[in-house]
């Protein structure tokens, strides 16, 4: 059997891929990231012409030496990691650090890379009485229809202003992103207007116009927020359905200039759940102050994740244990195709909204546009017919999510990767995550080719889990170290966020269409193609009459002797190993 031929043919049997970069032909036949950084993207825009991308000359130095010796260490405090990197004992401290960890004196001895660290949002509870949808269909309570912003909890009716989608959308103008960035983060970050950050690939091309059209970059606009919120509250005050349905009245017992909104004779009380670990506490309290000035009472519930998760993300929204929660997330490395993020942050089916996907918690999902939800699911499962549809659907979901405003995003915090300025010469960096990509360690250059780095662990443990003999480790920092010494078939370009080849070039063929939800495959699988039977543990010919939707043919890189190279222990890498990569997950 010709194993090289088998390796090529068996991998042609990829029927449908959910990797949209492959499905839409974004794969680059480029193995050298230095070359690829200066390549053109699909729109014909040269990378070096885009203002938000790093000049390749600034990424890769020509003065240093690529590393051939790695000394991995551990530090039991962030302070020690920063000090030892500034002194030259370490070339790199692998953990990201905040600006507060770096003194003015140390800045002179460090080269820093910007890295998007965590980001945050306000998460609102949109619960209301489901039965009011049919009885009051014209109130525009939700994006797709009516209802009343009231809900019965333990036999008593409550008025929930945040069930009103316009009041939620008004939060984009009520909050003060730029003020938070200045006062809380000392400008170490950027305003975040929706689920994706400004630093991410594709932001300017596909999403910035939506932000501008909806004008949510014009935040801290008290007058606009006031008019929207007070306007809707006055609408509900005059709506006869409130009293008819609940036998309670909604009224402003204050003045137009200083409202006091009461329901059932008591001021409407909102519950803000504010995380205490970071700036979210200040943001949550600021939101509470602003809503109090709108005429509501606000109970502030402060706590860590263990305290607040059960009454927010894992709660039944109908229990009304919260109205607002200050959520926080960790940024991903550069990735152009972010359909998972938009589904996660905006659409109820995915399970990262209220109730964490429980079918008993209907709030949000059943009042969302079913067409938008279908687009989200189709994007998630790779069912967009073509690239034009992919980007149009992504923009549709982004716009819908912003207008729905169940999540309103605040700030992306900037963190820093640090290197010793004298010894560090250069490396390719991820435009979003800085060091956290496979190309940084493999393109690292120092003054002498020697490289020392450390990770932080308060217990002094370098490796935090047992390495799986097949796939290594699931620990973030262990994987970072593995990336220094292994090749992937493909990975993601650190600037453009599109898939590129590392140990292979490959060609992609696509021929399919979706008909009434069914995949019609048009590629004939070639005669003599093989697959692996996990029960018999044997390779077999698949036979005639099979069709595929996509076909990917890999061309594995060989050295001058026609070999694939060797492992670090001296054993040869062969096509049998490549086939093992295919059959292990299958088994």
Q: Which letter does DSSP use for residue 468 in this model?
A: B
Judging by DSSP bridges, how do beta strands 150-153 and 407-420 pair with one another?
A: unpaired
Angle at 291 between CA 289 and CA 292, to 5 degrees: 65
pLDDT in tens, 335-351: 999 999 999 999 988 87
| 294 neighbors 259 (Cβ within 8 angstroms) | yes
Q: Which two tokens stand for residue 314?
A: 């894992």
The end-to-end CA distance of the chain, in Å, is 22
Average pLDDT over the chain reads 84
pLDDT in tens, 123-178: 999 999 989 998 999 999 988 889 999 999 999 999 999 999 999 999 999 999 99
Q: How many Cα atoms sit within 13 Å of 401 on the Cβ side?
A: 29
Q: Which letter does DSSP use for residue 366 in this model?
A: G
Residues 6+ apart with CB under 8 A from 463: 473, 475, 478
Mean of pLDDT values over 114-121: 92
Can you tell me whether residue 243 is helix, strand or coil? helix
Distance CA 65, CA 76 (A): 30
Residue 145 pLDDT:
84
DSSP secondary structure string for all residues of 240-298: HHHHHHHS--EEE-S-SSS--EEETTEE-EEEEEEESSSTHHHHHHHHHHHHHHTT-EE
- pLDDT-derived band at 514, boundaries 50, 70, 90: confident
If we measure between CA atoms, which residue out of 279, 324, 318, 316 comes closest to residue 300?
324
- pLDDT-derived band at 288, boundaries 50, 70, 90: very high
Every domain of the chain with CATH number 3.10.105.10 lies at 118-413
**Residue 21 or 86, more confident:** 86
Residue 157 pLDDT:
98
Residue with tokens 């003599």: 528
Q: What is the CATH number of domain 118-413?
A: 3.10.105.10
- pLDDT-derived band at 520, boundaries 50, 70, 90: very high
| 75 neighbors 456 (Cβ within 8 angstroms) | yes
pLDDT in tens, 3-16: 333 333 333 333 22
pLDDT in tens, 306-320: 999 999 988 888 999
Mean of pLDDT values over 213-232: 96
**The pLDDT of residue 85 is above 60:** yes
Distance CA 451, CA 522 (A): 51
Residue with tokens 């017992």: 253
Residue with tokens 């009041």: 167
If we measure between CA atoms, which residue out of 99, 70, 74 comes closest to residue 84?
74
If we measure between CA atoms, which residue out of 90, 81, 85 comes closest to residue 107?
85
Q: Which two tokens stand for residue 527?
A: 């005669």
Question: What does each C-alpha distance from 565 to 1, 265, 485, 570 come to in angstroms?
Answer: 21, 79, 14, 9
Q: How many residues in total does the chain contain? A: 587
| 283 neighbors 272 (Cβ within 8 angstroms) | no
What is the C-alpha radius of gyration for the chain, rounded to an integer number of angstroms?
27
Q: List, in sequence order, every residue forming a beta bridge with 93; answer none if it has no partner.
A: 418, 454
Q: What does pTM read for this prediction?
A: 0.84
**The pLDDT of residue 26 is above 90:** no
Residue with tokens 């002094």: 460
Ramachandran angles phi, psi of 520, nearest 5°: -100, 110
DSSP secondary structure string for all residues of 169-219: HHHHHHS-HHHHHHHTTTT-EEE--SSS-TTSTTIIIIIHHHHHHHTTTS-
Distance CA 83, CA 93 (A): 10
Question: What does each C-alpha distance from 402 to 126, 127, 463, 555 come to in angstroms?
Answer: 14, 18, 41, 43
Residue 18 pLDDT:
29
Distance CA 124, CA 168 (A): 8
Q: Which letter does DSSP use for residue 434 in this model?
A: B
């Amino acid at each position: 059997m010709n194993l090289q031929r088998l390796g090529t043919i068996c991998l042609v049997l990829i029927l449908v891929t959910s990797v949209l970069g492959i499905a839409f032909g974004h794969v680059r036949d480029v193995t050298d990231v230095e070359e690829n950084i200066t390549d053109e993207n699909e729109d014909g825009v040269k990378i070096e012409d885009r203002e938000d991308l790093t000049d390749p000359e600034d990424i890769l130095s020509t003065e240093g030496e690529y590393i051939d010796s790695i000394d991995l260490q551990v530090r039991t405090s962030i302070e020690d990691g920063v000090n030892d990197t500034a002194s030259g004992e370490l070339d790199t401290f692998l953990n990201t650090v905040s600006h507060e960890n770096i003194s003015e004196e140390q800045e002179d001895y460090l080269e820093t890379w910007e890295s998007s660290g965590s980001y945050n949002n306000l998460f609102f509870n949109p619960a209301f009485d489901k039965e009011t949808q049919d009885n009051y269909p014209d109130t525009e309570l939700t994006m797709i229809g009516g209802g009343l912003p009231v809900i019965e909890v333990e036999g008593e009716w409550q008025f929930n202003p945040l069930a009103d989608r316009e009041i939620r959308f008004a939060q984009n103008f009520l909050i003060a992103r730029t003020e938070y960035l200045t006062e809380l983060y000392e400008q170490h970050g950027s305003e975040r207007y929706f689920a994706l950050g400004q630093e991410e690939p594709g932001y300017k091309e596909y999403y910035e116009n939506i932000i501008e059209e909806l004008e949510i970059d014009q935040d801290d606009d008290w007058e606009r927020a006031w008019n929207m919120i007070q306007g809707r509250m006055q609408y509900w005050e005059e709506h006869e359905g409130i009293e008819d349905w609940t036998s309670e009245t909604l009224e402003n017992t204050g003045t137009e200039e200083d409202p006091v909104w009461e329901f059932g004779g008591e001021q409407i009380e909102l519950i803000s759940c504010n995380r205490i670990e970071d700036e979210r506490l200040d943001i949550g309290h600021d939101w509470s102050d602003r809503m109090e000035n709108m005429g509501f009472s606000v109970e502030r519930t402060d706590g860590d994740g263990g305290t607040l998760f059960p009454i927010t993300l894992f709660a039944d929204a109908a229990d009304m244990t919260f109205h607002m929660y200050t959520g926080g997330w960790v940024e991903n490395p550069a990735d152009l195709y972010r359909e998972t993020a938009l589904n996660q942050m905006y659409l109820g089916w995915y399970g990262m909204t209220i109730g964490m996907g429980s079918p008993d918690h209907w709030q949000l999902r059943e009042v969302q546009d079913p067409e938008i939800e279908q687009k989200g699911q189709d994007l998630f499962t790779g069912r967009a017919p073509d690239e034009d549809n992919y980007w149009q659907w992504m923009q549709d979901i982004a716009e819908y999510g912003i207008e729905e405003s169940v999540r309103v995003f605040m700030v992306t915090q900037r963190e820093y990767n640090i290197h010793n300025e004298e010894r560090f010469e250069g490396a390719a960096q991820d435009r979003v995550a800085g060091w956290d990509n496979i190309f940084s360690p493999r393109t690292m250059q120092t003054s002498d080719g020697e490289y020392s780095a450390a990770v932080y662990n308060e217990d002094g443990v370098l490796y935090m889990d047992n390495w799986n003999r097949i796939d290594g480790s699931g620990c973030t920092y262990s994987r970072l170290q593995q990336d220094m010494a292994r090749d992937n078939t493909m990975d993601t370009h650190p600037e453009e966020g599109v898939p590129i080849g590392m140990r292979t070039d490959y060609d992609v063929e696509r021929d399919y269409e979706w008909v009434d939800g069914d995949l019609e495959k048009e590629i004939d699988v070639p005669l003599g193609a093989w697959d692996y039977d996990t029960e018999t543990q044997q390779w077999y010919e698949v036979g005639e009459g099979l069709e595929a939707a996509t076909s990917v043919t890999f061309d594995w890189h060989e050295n001058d002797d026609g070999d694939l190279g060797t492992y670090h222990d001296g054993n040869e890498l062969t096509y049998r190993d490549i086939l093992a990569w295919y059959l292990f997950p299958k088994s």
